[in-house]
Amino acid sequence: MPIYTRTGDKGKTSLFDGTRVLKSHKRVETYGTIDELNSNIGVVIAEIKELRLKNKDIVEELEAIQHDLFDIGSALATPHPLPVEGLEKRPKEFEVLIDTLTKQMPEIKYFILPGGGKAGSFLHVCRTITRRVERQLVALMQKEDVDQEIVVYLNRLSDLFFTLARYVNYKEKKKEVRWIKK
């Protein structure tokens, strides 16, 4: 089966139920950004594996997040709200991981600039993409029904990416750059 279908050559795509919509539709934009986030997580995983940080748990969690995002993207590609199975427990799991990692690092008492090593920097990119998809989802929710758990998930996920960025930079001994107001 070829990867190309030619059905999108006129700027439209199909949702899971067969409904044809413009590729600029808010729903398509939202699950497209989920896909972008998922791809960036793949970059982070590759970088962390290359670093050999000896923290298999982080890679496993990032891969689990990739699976979650595929499920969320699938739910968003359906024009009626579909609950994503098991999604409601994930924000609490993220909170436990955030708390665990935070206890292992120096306390943060100021704003930091995104950066550090490659993996940490890419995790900051993932955080900002997560915030963007969260904004897109909220805009979509103004017009269409969407599973509310997805918003909670994304909100906590961005917090997790911030913590993971700090943690990976800490493990790599990359200095956090303090934001200084001019």
- 48 assigned to some structural domain: yes
The per-residue pLDDT for range 1-43, each reduced to its tens digit, is: 777 777 667 777 777 777 786 666 899 899 999 999 999 999 9
- 176 assigned to some structural domain: no
User: Considering its fold, how many domains does the chain have in total?
Assistant: 1
pTM (2 d.p.): 0.92
Instruction: CATH number of the domain at 139, please.
Output: 1.20.1200.10
Cβ pair 71, 83 in contact under 8 A = no
The per-residue pLDDT for range 99-147, each reduced to its tens digit, is: 999 999 999 988 999 999 999 999 999 999 999 999 999 999 999 989 9
Residue 120 lies in domain: 12-171
- 27 assigned to some structural domain: yes
